[in-house]
Structure 1
Amino acid sequence: MTERKHHRPMTPGDRFLESVAGGVDPIEVREAADRAATLLVRGARETGDPQVAERLLHLADTEGIEAIAEVWAGSPADTLAGCLWRLYLLRSWVYADPVEVARQFDAGRTRAQVARVVAGVAEPPGPEELQTMVDEVLRGIAGSDFADVLLRAAAFARVVATGRAALEHDPAEVRHTLTLAEQLETAGHAELAHRLG
């Protein structure tokens, strides 16, 4: 049996640690995401420029929903970043399958009439009407009270959740949509109370 020499383990230097960790501090990423969300929401309203609203509307189209998710998906629901993520997710979902979402909205609108009115979808609620509504909601980031944007999106999600339940969708899917509605509604009330940051 040969005798093995034991070596003292090498201690990695700073460069090694940076390469393992990706060189990105998660706290800095979160702070940058929060700053970007604040600039988009608060700054867009101050400009009064209709082109800003259009750029905000198409942000997910130009940057990709995956890029937005990377920045904002981990943000809590009661932050501007978390609200933006949920709003863009809602738009992406409506555009991904407008016919099915219209069917779900239609099934829920008679059971959630107050929410239907707040959502403000044209009658009858077809695919184009839903896409128009969700685009108006996102344009509202720049042109409306942000609380109204959140409450309108929450009402829309609530009607769809009600419709999914009526159509006997997967209960987990219904709960997820209802949770989205509740998070947006809570954020809308926080915005009204000037507590959303």
Structure 2
Amino acid sequence: MQTSDFFDGLVGGADPALVSEAAERAAQLLVRGAHDSDDREVAGRLLHLAEVEGLETLADLWSGAPADSLAGCLWRLYVLRAWVHASPQLAAAQFEAGRATAQVARVVAGVADPPGPDQVRTMIDTVLTGISESAFADVLLRAAAFARVISVGRAHLHSADARPMLVLSEQLETAAHQELAVGLA
């Protein structure tokens, strides 16, 4: 039989509750602190956070967060940006295929016409820099609109499953409305 001293001396992994709390606090500081900052370099640091820290690190922090939380929204925004930067030609083709049917979402997304690879990369980067420069709900609505057009494009092209992008769009839009109503935590 081991005494309590034995168990007190064991070093285990990080406490999941503490990791979750730290992740939520980091998301809060990134979103709310960036918007209130006078530092002009904040937008650039936010934009390149996944590249500097690694998408895997952000996944460890935020991938399990609910879609209607700041941490969950940040995770979804960074994943969307990573996909666009990894596959800009595909993103542009899917956006092009969906923009005629999803007119309102196309306008809200704000991709230049015609939507080529450079234009979709520029748009998604503008969305992320908006975290420090715009209302967070606007950031979420633009990203949601972009994802909606992509999902429609995927459906038209029959080239990829449209459901994950549609779900992402709906999650971001729901979070944006919650942000407008009571603010995300």
Instruction: Please state which band the TM-score falls in when normalised by the shorter chain.
Output: over 0.9
Structure-1 separation of matches of 2:9 and 2:117: 52
Q: Which runs of 5+ in 1 are unaligned?
A: 1-8
> Cα distance, 1:10 vs. partner?
5.3
2:115 to 104, 119, 125: 125
1:136 equivalent to 2:112? Answer no
Structure-1 separation of matches of 2:148 and 2:173: 10
Contact 1:48 1:143 in 2 (8 A): no
1:179 to 151, 160, 167: 167
Structure-1 separation of matches of 2:51 and 2:183: 30
Q: Give the structure-1-normalised TM-score.
A: 0.89
> Aligned-pair RMSD on alpha carbons?
1.2
Report the residue type matching 1:154 in the other structure. Answer: A
1:15 to 5, 9, 30: 9
> Cα distance, 1:101 vs. partner?
0.8
Q: Which residue of 1 aligns with 2:33?
A: 43
Structure-2 separation of matches of 1:87 and 1:148: 13
Q: Give the structure-2-normalised TM-score.
A: 0.95
Q: Which residue of 1 aligns with 2:17?
A: 27
Structure-2 separation of matches of 1:50 and 1:162: 36
1:31-180 matches, cutoff 5 A? 31-170=21-160, 173-180=161-168
> Cα distance, 1:169 vs. partner?
2.8
Hey, which bits of structure 1, 4+ residues long, moved more than 6 A?
A: none
Structure-2 separation of matches of 1:46 and 1:101: 32
1:194 equivalent to 2:182? Answer yes
> Cα distance, 1:162 vs. partner?
0.3
Structure-2 separation of matches of 1:163 and 1:60: 26
Helix, strand or coil: the match of 1:44? Answer: helix
Structure-2 separation of matches of 1:54 and 1:195: 24
Larger Rg belongs to: 1
Question: Quick one: percent identity of the two aligned structures?
Answer: 61
Contact 1:48 1:142 in 2 (8 A): no
